[in-house]
Structure 1
Amino acid sequence: MPTRTDHRAVIRHLLAIWATEEDRKEVELRSDLELQVSVLVRGLAAHAADCARGVLTLYEAGQPIAAVPLIRSLMEDSVTAGWVLVVPDGWKAVLSEGSKARARILREAIEADAVGADSTAEARRQEYEAQARKLGSIPAGYKQFEQRLNALEGTGNMYMLYRYLSALTHAGAETVELYTSESRRSELGVSYRRFAKHSMAANLIQAAATSLTQALTAWDVTQVGRPHESALRAIATELGVDNEWRLRGNG
């Protein structure tokens, strides 16, 4: 009979690996990758690690529903890091969209005469728009998360899981149903649960462990010699996932 994986223990192990990265004073990065790729991947891996810490805290407090938005963010971090790593000039899409979003927010704030929307804000808006123009044409397929998933090998049914996470992240009927049940004893026909009914909690902590593994793998790949390749490969094997990021159709 196969041994059941303790996904919380896996996440703790991954966070211990990441802690060694946080403590390093210098990192030797691959010269064949654009510096922007390594910087973006590192930032996404750092956010993934923070989200994973939050997931552990909430699961250990018996609050798996509250961890759903963090698991969703963790998945986005992982997939985006992999996408940036393997899509030529993919980093431009991330930076361009970021600059456009900041410029748009500042423009709306200036038009609304919001507090702090002064000449300095206008100068920053112009700077962000200039950055977006400088980046020029960018790779398609970044804006929608589904497009990023479809570009990568091994993402399988991740989009279905992502949609499930999204449904429980936003206020809606799906969330309400977790805390409500039918009741013949009540005149209203419903009763309220003190704790949410969440049958997917074990599956989602597994998804969190997988996403953190793949996010750290992306960062590891940007470094000369892949210092954590052996440890991450062993964890990926235990979880039944690949420890490489590849474009779909590229083998």
Structure 2
Amino acid sequence: MSDSWPDGADETARLVNLWEQHMSRRFTPRHGLLPSNAVQIWTFAHHAARLSRAVITLHEAGHDLEAMPLIRQTLECAMNAAWLLVTETGGPALSAVDTKNRRVMYREVTELGMADLSEVLKRVEREEVRDAETVTHTRSFEERCRAVSGGRHIYAMWRTLSLYSHATSSIADVYLESVPVTLEAPLGVAMLLEADWDQADTWMRVQALMLLLAQIAADDAQAKPVHRTQLARARKRLGVTWQIRPADAD
């Protein structure tokens, strides 16, 4: 990313403020957009804005590495919103995936004796059967990314974010520094109290881009887009020409 780009934290804050201006307005889905798609697009965009507030707070406190899981979730919200905009039955499909995950969780909790969720489990299983009869497809997050124009590049960013969103050796590495082997450092490493992390600016720019994508999806889902001009300006500032469309339209 070019050093001539605007500050990612500033752009994120501008987009959060833009969304908060929109929150009090009535959301009217565009004609032909499935209600379940429209509702989830709005909620994902809204959560992306709230996540962005949290990321800014962490950034200002110098906790940029700790913000990586939130940036990752913002990316997920943005890509899901974009996918829902271009996938007719996306809303029911995402709900079906959630039903399956809840069923697995309820069964695990019940079998381990942590709580008796058997009655809830029965209802979820019946719901899953109905989903199987009505939902024609479900997709993994990777498949959803690949179904949207430009989504493969965003999925690659998601993979990078994932390295720093779980307890992996990538996390351990940023708290270690190579030093000569001595009696005081027999392993040849020193432990760092502060992470050796110099990617804050890059990932704050990614945060701004993902919030922008989520808001484009929400605006495009409106019967009468309310922020088309402001989002066009944000595109220009951030150096992208994004138009949400299916990957097969490229």
Supply the AA of the counterpart residue of 2:165.
Answer: T
Contact kept in structure 2, 1:15 and 1:49, CA below 8 Å: yes
Contact kept in structure 1, 2:52 and 2:211, CA below 8 Å: yes
* Number of the residue aligned with 1:171: 167
* Number of the residue aligned with 1:128: 127
DSSP-derived class of the 2:85 partner: helix
* Number of the residue aligned with 1:147: 143
Contact kept in structure 2, 1:210 and 1:239, CA below 8 Å: yes
In structure 1, what is the Cα distance between the partners aligned to 2:169 and 2:3?
Answer: 37
Cα offsets for 1:72-114 (capped at 9, x unmatched): 1111111111011102322222011111212222233333333
* Number of the residue aligned with 1:93: 93
DSSP-derived class of the 2:164 partner: helix
Supply the AA of the counterpart residue of 1:163.
Answer: R
Contact kept in structure 2, 1:152 and 1:246, CA below 8 Å: yes
The answer for unaligned runs of 5 or more in structure 2 is none
Supply the AA of the counterpart residue of 2:65.
Answer: I
Deviation at 1:209, TM superposition (A): 0.3
- 2:14 paired with 1:13: yes
In structure 2, what is the Cα distance between the partners aligned to 1:72 and 1:136?
Answer: 27
Contact kept in structure 2, 1:72 and 1:165, CA below 8 Å: yes
* Number of the residue aligned with 2:218: 219
DSSP-derived class of the 2:150 partner: coil
* Number of the residue aligned with 1:110: 110
TM-score, normalised via structure 1 length: 0.90
Structure 1 vs Structure 2 CA RMSD: 2.0
Cα offsets for 1:178-230 (capped at 9, x unmatched): 01001126333111222111122211111100000000110111112210011
In structure 2, what is the Cα distance between the partners aligned to 1:33 and 1:74?
Answer: 23
- 2:35 paired with 1:35: yes
Residues 116 and 110 (structure 1), Cα distance of their counterparts in 2 relative to 1, 3 Å cut: closer
Residues 162 and 122 (structure 1), Cα distance of their counterparts in 2 relative to 1, 3 Å cut: closer
In structure 2, what is the Cα distance between the partners aligned to 1:31 and 1:71?
Answer: 32
Contact kept in structure 2, 1:74 and 1:212, CA below 8 Å: yes
DSSP-derived class of the 1:181 partner: strand
**Count of residues in Structure 1 that have an aligned counterpart in Structure 2:** 246
Q: Percent identity?
A: 27
Deviation at 1:174, TM superposition (A): 0.8
* Number of the residue aligned with 1:157: 153
Contact kept in structure 2, 1:92 and 1:138, CA below 8 Å: no
The answer for unaligned runs of 5 or more in structure 1 is none
In structure 2, what is the Cα distance between the partners aligned to 1:80 and 1:27?
Answer: 18
In structure 1, what is the Cα distance between the partners aligned to 2:163 and 2:82?
Answer: 24
Residues 107 and 132 (structure 1), Cα distance of their counterparts in 2 relative to 1, 3 Å cut: farther
In structure 1, what is the Cα distance between the partners aligned to 2:173 and 2:81?
Answer: 34
Residues 131 and 17 (structure 1), Cα distance of their counterparts in 2 relative to 1, 3 Å cut: farther
DSSP-derived class of the 1:28 partner: coil
Which runs of at least 4 in structure 1 moved beyond 6 Å after TM superposition? none
* Number of the residue aligned with 1:203: 202
Deviation at 1:3, TM superposition (A): 4.7
